[in-house]
Amino acid sequence: MADANGVLELARLRHTYGHGETACEVLHGIDLRLQQGEFAALIGPSGSGKSTLLNLVGLLETPTGGDVILDGNATAGLDDDARTALRNRALGFVFQFHHLLPGFSALENVLMPRLARQGRATPADVSDAMALLDAVGLGQLHGRRPSELSGGQQQRVAIARALAGRPRLLLADEPTGNLDTHTADEIFALFRRINAEQGLTFLVVTHDPRLAARCDRVVRLVDGRIVGDGPP
């Protein structure tokens, strides 16, 4: 029986790029479990496999071996449509670059996950999106386009968009890497508040040791293997 509090489990996860003589295994049997409400950092030097691991957790790539069990669902045998449906239901993504659609307002960008899932936005969806913008401090700027917002404000819109699908797990890939120190601290404080208030599970890839030290758990990856996992 699946653990009711288990949001993510990686079981003997392996990944290889290339074939034959050019094959290169970059992840070597990763085992990892995240429970509901955990706030974990994933750290490691460049080339350690962090981006590959995050892509596999995000169901953006298929592992060579092992399995990604997301919200109680084994994914190794799922077809593309089922993987996409699970990704849209269970995961939220925040990246270093916000990837907002420049021709749309902040509110319209937050609504994009609902539009992708349902094909249209209901009045309730609009109300929820406004509430999310209020929660990240941008309710009064809902009509502005990305070019009319600061870098920190754009990232806040991206966070609201990631929350719009009510995910079980939020994946953040260097979410403050493109921000100044003060704004980075504000964004990270927002993450921690969402984690505390909603019980949302976070997995944050960061090169910033200051931010990693403020997580509850730090997973260190070196040469495709976990070499440390515990409190900062």
CA dihedral 170, 174, 180, 182 (to 10 degrees): 40
The distance of Cα 185 from the centroid of its chain, to the nearest Å, equals 18
If you average pLDDT over residues 83-87, what whole number do you get?
91
In the CATH hierarchy, which fold is given to the domain comprising 35-62+78-230? Answer: Rossmann fold (3.40.50)
**Residue, of 137 and 115, whose pLDDT is higher:** 137
The single residue listed with the structure tokens 């979410």 is: 175
pLDDT in tens, 183-195: 888 888 888 988 9
The single residue listed with the structure tokens 């990305």 is: 146
Given a cut of 90, whether residue 19 has pLDDT beyond it is no
CA dihedral 221, 173, 177, 196 (to 10 degrees): -100
Given a cut of 70, whether residue 72 has pLDDT beyond it is yes
pLDDT for 3:
55
pLDDT for 26:
92
If you average pLDDT over residues 54-80, what whole number do you get?
92
Which of 29-38, 74-83, 96-105, 121-130 is the least confident region? Answer: 96-105
Given a cut of 70, whether residue 2 has pLDDT beyond it is no
Q: Are 34 and 10 in contact (CB under 8 A)?
A: no
pLDDT for 218:
96
Domain boundaries, the chain: 35-62+78-230
pLDDT for 159:
87
pLDDT for 230:
93
Residue 198 to residue 106: CA distance in whole angstroms: 22
Q: Which residues contact 91 (CB under 8 A, 6 or more apart)?
A: 58, 59, 70, 165, 167, 168, 169, 170, 171
If you average pLDDT over residues 119-147, what whole number do you get?
88
pLDDT band at 1 (very low <50, low <70, confident <90, very high): very low
pLDDT for 4:
57
If you average pLDDT over residues 137-155, what whole number do you get?
89
Whole-model pTM: value is 0.88
If you average pLDDT over residues 133-161, what whole number do you get?
89
pLDDT averaged over every residue in the chain: 88
pLDDT in tens, 162-181: 888 889 999 998 887 777 88
Full 3-state SS string of the chain: CCCCCEEEEEEEEEEEECCHHHCEEEEEEEEEEEECCCEEEEECCCCCCHHHHHHHHCCCCCCCEEEEEECCEECCCCCHHHHHHHHHHHEEEEECCCCCCCCCCHHHHHHHHHHHHHCCCCHHHHHHHHHHHHHCCCHHHCCCCHHHCCHHHHHHHHHHHHHCCCCCEEEEECCCCCCCHHHHHHHHHHHHHHHHHHCCEEEEECCCHHHHCCCCEEEEEECCEEEEEECC
If you average pLDDT over residues 98-102, what whole number do you get?
84
- What is the percentage of the chain residues whose pLDDT exceeds 90? 51
Given a cut of 90, whether residue 105 has pLDDT beyond it is yes
Residue 41 to residue 205: CA distance in whole angstroms: 6
